[in-house]
Amino acid sequence: MTRRSQMKLGFSIGSVGYHYAAWRLPEAHQDGGLSARHYIESAQLAERGKFDFVFVADVAAIRNIDDRRIAREREQGILKLEPTLALSAVAAMTDRIGLIPSVSTTYNPPYAFARRMASLDHISGGRAGWNMVTSWSADEARNYNLDAPLSSAVRHARAAEFVDVVKGLWDSWDDDAFIRDKASGIYFERDRFHFLEHKGDFFEVRGPLDTARPPQGYLPIITAGSSAESQDLAARIADMVYAGQPNIEAARSYYSSVKGRLARYGREAKSLAILPGIMPFVGRTQQEAEDKFAGLQSLLDPRVAIGMLVINHFPDLTGYDLDSPVPELAMTSDQLDDGMKTSAREPEFTRALMAQARRDKLTIRQIFDVISAGFWSLGLVGTPAKIADVMEEWVSTGAADGFIVQPPDLPGSGTDFVELVVPELQRRGLFRREYEGCSLREHLGLPYVASRYIRQPQSVDP
């Protein structure tokens, strides 16, 4: 099987795991997302599994901290390191794996960002990428001189111009600009750098950038989101999309929608990889996997679980018997429609969960289980073969080009995936056994991007 037909795999370092109770496990790092050692060890684990990249999500705020229905004081994921700094530490302690931090186009100036990310690409030897986010939450807006977040249309228009400016800054210097000739005393050739002189709707940036062109030319970009604006932006500028579909039917629909937009930007389907999130609870037997899930659920504080529902526009279920059926009010409240007007969560997810509760007569405690197993992404509890079967079906039937693994707990479930699932994927020829290249672009099968100013060879008349 060729490299092009193999799946791509990312490894998301979400504090000490994506399960809300992961931090309470005895083996978890007590300081969670504040430990550089934790980021380094997680990345080294992923590199041992030959993953394409590690991924670090980020929100420049503590969301919903004022809402006492949401027990933030019982969660571990609210404290974290700034991702580009954390991955700079990781770069020094790894050799091959790609490094993708999340950075917002809404609350960063493009020059400072282009400089920082070019530096990370140099530090890592060409392994940096960028998760481009536009920051929809009110809590972030209030940290950056705004009373409310910008509209989706404005955020995405700003993001498109931001990317254009950043790429222009990365082209500030030709690849051969720095001759560094000690004999002549000439360090660089003046005709091989370029002022950007950008003046647009959101930014005015002169340039040039005060660091050399990134080793990869342009860093690979990953985006997310299911809105029309998000999909259009992905089709225009992204190399990957971090998708969030919980079942194969929704994933195929999203895959088709995003890929179908590429032609209007002159791009082919293979130029953009779609990678859904997958949250795997892995056991050597089905019972072992279920026991691991049950063990984490036993540590889940009901107040935290109720807060998870509140965040996603369920009414507050505090005070109800957890082993009684989900009350009808949770499926008819006007809060669902009102809350969804400004949320990044898509209403179909919450509506689907409410419909499932009605259909299966779930108790409140059982709905906690559904959410913790990965309701907003692909959640799987099973053996390596079972998990590989599902991943293979998604990739082979137009639902995904690979996955971003969201370990429920670190290091435990991350180690399970690397030691149990990756060998099964390799045995089936679905994933690499060794790295073929050194840069993130090489891992992803993306070509080096030459500068817009590259000298074209002169044509010679016969």
Could you tell me the sign of the dihedral formed by the alpha carbons of 330, 332, 333, 338, in that order? positive
Q: Is 313 among the domain residues?
A: no
Report the alpha-carbon distance of residue 462 to residue 458 in Å, rounded. 13
Around 450, how many Cα atoms within 13 Å sit in the side-chain half-sphere? 6
Q: Which domain holds residue 30?
A: 3-286+377-444
Inside any domain, residue 102: yes
Is there a domain that residue 303 lies in? Answer: no
CATH code: domain of residue 247 = 3.20.20.30
Dist CA 73 CA 445 (whole Å): 43
Domain count, the chain: 1
Residues of the chain with pLDDT under 70: 1-4, 329-349, 375, 455-462
CB atoms within 10 A of CB 204: 10
Locate 306 and state its tokens: 């109720």
In a domain, 241, yes or no: yes
Strand partners, 100: 55
Within a 10 A sphere around the Cβ of 461, how many other Cβ atoms?
Answer: 3
Residue 461 three-state SS = coil
Residue 30 confidence (pLDDT): 78
Predicted local distance difference test score (pLDDT) of residue 348: 64
Is 320 a domain residue? no
Residue type, 426: Q
Amino acid of residue 316:
D
DSSP result, 134-162: ----HHHHHTTT-SSPPPHHHHHHHHHHH
Note whether residue 159 is domain-resident: yes
pLDDT at 418: 98
Cα radius of gyration rounded to whole Å, the chain: 23
Whole-structure pTM value = 0.91
**Other beta carbons less than 10 A from residue 373's beta carbon:** 20
Q: What angle do CA 131, 259, 370 make, to 5 degrees?
A: 65
